[in-house]
A = this chain, B = another copy of it.
């Protein structure tokens, strides 16, 4: 269990929470994605291959742990967390495609386009994308339609051209000639979109479920922004220092491509110091929630210390 959840830095409390949410998310997708007895079988097989039984499930746990602060029932926050995870997984499937990052390994297994084929991978990503919004909009989500509409809007904004997909474009744009080399400012902006937007949405959706008014969202919004950036710096450090077997994916890719990252721009030591400072700052934003927010604090620490 400790191994699956990310090695010795995982506290008993966080390890337990991650193991539980990993099982719940797997069970949810396993039950929700029924393989049809026709030629769509291949598509749903590919969706299930990608979404059942892999990943740390950081985003669902962020959503659930935030919602817990406001007494939201767990079936509801789990469902919202699974919608964010469906978006995250669709983006991994598309990012791994030969025309994008061309990756062969994900969570220690073949990527979807290798296990199936490219066309199936494109469609499986598209289908998980639509599925996320199906999960959020139906009456199973919440009896309150205003909450459902807000959740959809939050996730659509975070994943589209002004969020995750926009950040991915900025990342790829480094390969196009007319884009100046990244500096720290532009990398920060890029990562706030590419990784940060969906992590922030996970927290915001927990607050939407908790009916937290906009003016009460500042602290947790700041927490999410700080861990988002720390998460990406940790990813860049993993790419340089990590163990491919533990990470379950190809590393050293940034260096091969000569790509600028937080680590190439700041150096390993300063990058690690910066990630830890961001985590301390993130945890500081949790102060008003006291002991109740201990899981979110654990999660912030885990994000920079993880080895996968």
A residues neighboring B (CB under 8 Å): 33, 36, 38-40, 42-44, 47, 90-91, 94, 97, 99-100, 117-120, 122-123, 125-127, 129-131, 133-134, 136-138, 145-146, 148-150, 152-153, 155-157, 159-163, 165-166, 168-170, 172-174, 176, 179, 186, 189-190
Contacts and interface: CB of A to CB of B under 8 A. Distances in A.
Contact of A133 (B39, B146, B152, B173): B152
A99 B124 CA distance: 13
A133 to B, nearest CB: 4
Contact of A148 (B40, B100, B134, B149): B149
Nearest to A172: B119
A137 B166 contact: no
Contacts of A94: 122-123, 126
Contacts of A127: 160-161, 165-166
A65 B94 CA distance: 36
A38 B153 contact: no
A184 to B, nearest CB: 15
Top-4 shortest CB links A-B: A130-B160, A99-B118, A39-B173, A137-B152
A160 B134 contact: yes
27 contacts: A36-B166, A38-B189, A39-B173, A40-B162, A40-B169, A42-B173, A42-B176, A43-B161, A44-B161, A91-B126, A94-B126, A99-B119, A119-B172, A123-B165, A125-B126, A126-B165, A127-B166, A129-B130, A130-B161, A131-B156, A133-B153, A133-B156, A134-B160, A137-B152, A137-B156, A145-B146, A145-B150
Contacts of A163: 130
A156 B170 contact: no
Contacts of A117: 99
Contact of A166 (B43, B169, B173): B43
A142 B145 CA distance: 12
Contacts of A170: 38-40
Contacts of A126: 90-91, 94, 125-126, 129, 159-160, 165
Contact of A165 (B33, B130, B138, B172): B130
B169 A42 contact: yes
B169 A156 contact: no
A136 B134 CA distance: 13
Question: Which of A43, A130, A155 has most B Cβ within 10 Å?
Answer: A130
A40 B152 contact: no
A99 B137 CA distance: 31
B165 A43 contact: yes
A114 to B, nearest CB: 13
Most chain B Cβ neighbours within 10 Å, of A94, A152, A179: A152
Contacts of A169: 39-40, 42-43, 120, 123
